[in-house]
């Protein structure tokens, strides 16, 4: 079981929330509507799919959770000198202090461990990419620009001069305020500005990417997947068919679920990738019927349809991209039922509390999901076209289109980073020790197909 290690003054749940940073979200809307408007505006008279409900609950410009946030992304004035701390207690005391001084909800790992976190990512790119061609990098949801600056700094100092001179770094950012902040952060080094640009748009909109770009490139996504909308499917018992879950508003403000036969194409595609078994096939149907009658058990399953849509867009626009993503592989204390269920949490007066139902996320709560990295790999292969080709009966010897690997954050940083820089004097290392429920996913195209 992976658990985020807790500091002395925070619970493990609170620490996870503090380190958590959602991306690809509209921070430019900072209105403060009355809570009474939340459910009325999120769900009107027409039922909506769960993914649309979650998207509105998080991102609606008027009543979405992130639209209510008064504090922007946390930015540290200077890097933390981990080697100056005696151990964990001293580090946690410092962490508590900077949160109170900053009055923000979270600092991202790339911010807490700057520049070393970004340097590890840059090193993994330099070791993997073909440096004989110009290096092109896209970052989705670049936050305050700390990752971009760290990567450009590292490449300027450690790569051949021609690599830095010809690099192109593009941030795809939906927030206008963060886009401006990124320019400011990266611009601290004058020479970076000619290599860096921000495109203020939604990364999941295929039109924004323009024509297909056949050139090799890298796509970076840090803490993006956990806040992408998911769909929910439901089955009454072991033999009942799966149903789409919709959200409707009843009796004024009350929200409830509505079940319909599976018709949505995105849900169908995700179910195909997950390879959900048909409840009426396989094994003895008679025995299943008996078992369902004696021990009826409802089933819920959360489908990462938002991730699927994003990967389809990226593979369609950038077929030769290499991908590096990091996110939560496990979330503690989830109360909502179903495989890959989200944590729905709200914060008030400095303390966090979790809801028992995602329907309670009516603009006042964060909704974030664990990433199933095995499923992420399957979706990656599916969207690249390889899995579809195999299902069409093409020979297996054709080979996979991508090489992929998932690594715990500690393993990734030990391989590509400089762990000594984030270690305290007694050997405690928060980057390696406190992020045991996070992973990195690397995916690169191969040339073993004909």
If one counts every other C-beta atom within 10 angstroms of the C-beta of residue 8, the result is 10
Q: What is the 3-state secondary structure (H, E, C) of the chain?
A: CCCCCCCCCCCHHHHHHHHCCCCCCCCCCCCCCCHHHHHHHHCCCCCEEHHHHHHHHHHCCCCCHHHCCCCCCCCCCCCCCHHHCCCHHHHHHHHHHHHHHHCCCCCCHHHHCCCHHHHHHHHHHHHHCCCCCCCEEEEECCCCCHHHHHHHHHHHHHCCHHHHHCCEEEEEECCHHHHHHHHHHHCCCHHHCCCEEEEECCCCCHHHHCCCCCCCEEEEEECCHHHCCCEEEEECCCCCCCEEEEEEEECCCEEEEEEEECCCHHHHHHHHHHCCCCCCCCCCHHHHHHHHHHCCCCEEEEECHHHHHHHHHHHHHCCCEEEEEEEECCCCCCCCCCECCCEEEEEECCEEEECCCHHHCCCCCEEECCCCHHHHHHHHHHHHCHHHHHHCCCCHHHCCCEEEEEEEHHHHHHHHCCHHHHCCCCCCCHHHHCCCCEEEEEEEECCCCC
The encoded tokens of residue 22 equal 């959602």
- Estimate to the nearest angstrom the gap between the alpha carbon of 93 and the chain centroid: 28
Consecutive sets of 10 residues in the chain, 450 residues long: mean pLDDT of each?
A: 34 39 32 37 83 89 69 78 96 90 78 97 96 96 94 97 97 86 95 96 94 96 94 90 92 85 95 71 48 71 97 96 96 92 79 84 86 96 77 54 94 96 97 94 78
Residue 300 tokens read as: 């819920």
User: Could you count the other beta carbons within 10 Å of the beta carbon of residue 250?
Assistant: 10
Beta strands at 243-250 and 321-328: parallel, antiparallel or unpaired: unpaired
Beta strand 254-261 with 351-354: parallel, antiparallel or unpaired? unpaired
Residue recorded with tokens 């079981």: 1
How far apart (Å, rounded) are the C-alpha atoms in residues 128 and 446?
12
Residue 112 token pair: 């807490």
pLDDT for position 67: 65
Distances (CA, A) of 394 to 127, 291, 367, 383, 446: 33, 39, 40, 16, 18
Q: Supply the pLDDT for residue 16.
A: 43
Please say whether the beta carbons of 7 and 15 come within 8 A.
Answer: yes
Q: How far apart are CA 426 and CA 241, in angstroms?
A: 56
Asked whether the beta carbons of 301 and 339 are under 8 A apart, the reply is yes
Residue 430's nearest CA partner among 149, 101, 85, 98 is 85
Count Cβ atoms below 10 Å from residue 77 Cβ, excluding itself: 7
Angstrom distance (rounded) from CA 306 to CA 167? 30
Round to whole Å and give the CA distance between 245 and 303.
11
Please say whether the beta carbons of 53 and 84 come within 8 A: no
pLDDT at 45: 76
User: Residue 223's CB: how many other CB atoms inside 10 A?
Assistant: 25
The per-residue pLDDT for 296 is 67
Predicted confidence at residue 123, as pLDDT, reads 98
Burial 169-207 (b: 16+ CB within 10 A, else e): bbbbbbbeebbebbbebbeeeeebeebbebeeebbbeee
């Amino acid at each position: 079981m992976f658990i985020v290690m807790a500091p002395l003054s925070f619970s493990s749940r609170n620490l996870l929330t503090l380190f958590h940073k959602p991306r690809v979200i509209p921070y430019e809307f900072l209105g403060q509507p009355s809570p009474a408007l939340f459910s009325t505006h999120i769900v009107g008279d027409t039922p909506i799919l769960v993914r649309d409900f979650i998207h509105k609950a998080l991102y609606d410009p008027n009543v979405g959770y992130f639209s209510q946030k008064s504090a922007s992304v946390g930015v540290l004035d200077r890097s933390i000198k981990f080697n100056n701390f005696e151990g964990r207690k001293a580090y946690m005391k410092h962490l508590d202090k900077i949160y109170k001084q900053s009055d923000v909800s979270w600092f991202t790992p790339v911010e807490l461990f700057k520049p070393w976190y970004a340097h590890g990512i840059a090193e993994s790119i330099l070791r993997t990419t073909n440096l004989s061609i110009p290096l092109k990098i896209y970052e989705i949801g670049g936050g305050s620009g700390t990752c971009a600056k760290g990567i450009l700094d590292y490449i300027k100092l450690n790569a051949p001069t021609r690599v830095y001179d010809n690099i192109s770094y593009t941030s795809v950012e939906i927030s206008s305020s963060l886009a401006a902040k990124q320019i400011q952060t990266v611009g601290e080094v004058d020479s970076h500005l000619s290599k860096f640009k921000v495109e203020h748009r939604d990364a999941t909109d295929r039109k924004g990417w323009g024509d297909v770009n056949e050139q090799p490139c890298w796509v970076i996504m840090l803490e993006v997947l956990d806040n992408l909308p998911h769909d929910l499917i439901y089955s009454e018992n072991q033999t009942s068919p799966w149903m789409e879950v919709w959200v409707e508003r009843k009796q004024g403000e009350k929200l409830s679920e509505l079940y319909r036969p599976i018709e949505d194409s995105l849900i169908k595609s995700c179910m195909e990738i997950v390879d959900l078994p048909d409840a009426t096939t396989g094994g003895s149907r008679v025995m299943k019927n008996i078992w369902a009658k004696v021990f009826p058990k409802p089933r819920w399953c959360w489908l990462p349809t938002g991730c699927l849509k994003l990967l389809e867009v990226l593979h369609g626009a950038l077929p030769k991209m290499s991908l590096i993503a990091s996110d939560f592989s496990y979330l503690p204390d989830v109360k909502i039922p179903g495989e890959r269920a989200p944590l729905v949490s709200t914060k008030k007066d400095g303390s966090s509390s979790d809801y028992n139902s995602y329907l309670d996320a009516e603009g006042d709560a964060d909704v974030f999901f664990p990433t199933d990295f095995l499923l992420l790999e399957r979706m990656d292969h599916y969207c690249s076209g390889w899995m579809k080709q195999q299902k069409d009966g093409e020979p297996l010897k054709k080979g996979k289109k991508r090489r992929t690997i998932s690594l715990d954050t500690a393993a990734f940083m030990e391989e590509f980073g400089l762990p000594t820089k984030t270690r305290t004097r007694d050997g405690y290392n928060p980057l390696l020790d406190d992020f045991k429920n996070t992973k990195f996913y690397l995916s690169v195209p191969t040339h073993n197909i004909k």
